[in-house]
Amino acid sequence: MRLLNCLEWTPFRAQHASVIYSFADSEIDVDAHTLRRGGQEVHVEPQVFDVLHLLVSHAGDMVSYDTLIDVVWDGRIVSDATVAARISAARAAVGDTGRTQDIIQTIARRGIKLIVPVHAHDTDPQNSPTTGVPTQTIRMTTSQDGSVLAWSSLGKGTPLLRAGHWLTHLEKDLTSSIWGPWIDRLSSRHQLVRYDPRGTGMSARDCGAISVRNGVEDMLAVADAARLERFSILASSQSAAIAFHFAARFPDRVDKIVTCGAFIQGSCVRDPASGNVMTDALAVMIKEGWGNPDSGYMRSVGTLFMPSATDGELSDILELQAASASSERAIEIRTCCAYYDEIPVLARVGVPVLVAHAINDSVHPFGQAQLIASHLPDARLLPLETTNHLMSPREAAFDVFMTALEAFLE
């Protein structure tokens, strides 16, 4: 497994920011995706631009080769010659060479760094940290089996850890029409700690097995890295089982748990006949349509999770999912979840739990919420008037849920 040596990535803005970085006699316009040197535009290949963007985002800090591969090549296996070629092209584009290294310096066998001052200019005041998309520092930690996890913290107040679920992306979530409002609302009252599950989002794609046990170890690693002594947990969908196991194992660390769309038995356990058919069908649709938001297969998958989605919301969530994981990883996670059978752990959860669930959820039925609440020592059931497993911020149910969550966590 490759381990990331650069432990923090702090982009000046999120995906759609209008930022210009100036350094030496060059400037990078992130929004326009252009490089200028001496006032003249310089054509560079997309991966070369990404190398330069990553370097200016880390101005003065080393970017490890592993981080370079994870960000520029999305964790895919590439040869040393390919990496070297892109670095060489980046040097040439800004007027540097491998011999002089006046701008981009090589750290032998470890990585590269930009060694000239960088100035960032925001060309759109509406994107400032106080009025637009929040900035964040993305950090890395390592789980017990060596899997590398990306996490971040936003906001102030009582700590709330959002358990990693299918599928998220720490950076892209901030500008998502779905997750952006969730993050804004939660971080306005809490120190919101988020992480991408192993093998997805900005976590390293090379990871150990997907399992409930490893999910608990991952949650522990993030909580320890964020120095959370005692905190509440927000767990959606399959992450609820992980949160329950965590609370049973570490009762002194957890204050309260809020679940949304949770299930404790996977579809292949609660109804083997239809569950097996659904699991196989989803695997086929994901395999055939992943990465193409216009695919009929993927629009069917998206509509299953979010029946009342607008066209924009549907395209947004499908693009986000494709950026978060490969089709193989998505299928692996879905298959693991289909065989959850974790009812016994509920009796050992001693903290108060708010169990929120869509009444007409077509992915995991409302009966799962009733089952969970009936086996927990201290549970409150919150039915939500929606058909969406993935709840949209434009729904009345979203405000109902957030209001109940805020009151419950006070």
Residue 47 parent element (H or E): helix 46-57
**Average pLDDT of 170-195?**
93
The per-residue pLDDT of the chain, averaged, comes to 89
Query: Taking 60 as the threshold, does the pLDDT of residue 264 lie above it?
Result: yes
Nearest Cα to Cα of residue 120 among 268, 10, 283, 3: 10
Convert 260-305 into a string of H (helix), E (strand) and C (coil): ECCCCECHHHHCHHHHHHHHHHHHHHHHHHCCCCCCHHHHHHHHHH
**CATH code of the domain made up of 8-122:** 1.10.10.10
Report the distance separating Cα 232 and Cα 93, nearest Å: 49
Q: Which CATH number fits domain 138-409: 3.40.50.1820, 3.60.150.10, 2.60.40.730, 3.40.50.300?
A: 3.40.50.1820
pLDDT per position as a tens digit, 233-252: 999 999 999 999 999 999 99
pLDDT of residue 121: 67
Nearest Cα to Cα of residue 256 among 233, 227, 237, 235: 233
Report the distance separating Cα 313 and Cα 208, nearest Å: 32
**Average pLDDT of 216-242?**
97
Assign 11 a pLDDT band (cuts: 50, 70, 90).
very low
Instruction: Please state the domain extents for the chain.
Output: 8-122, 138-409
pLDDT per position as a tens digit, 342-374: 999 999 999 999 999 999 998 999 999 999 999
Better pLDDT: 260 or 316: 260
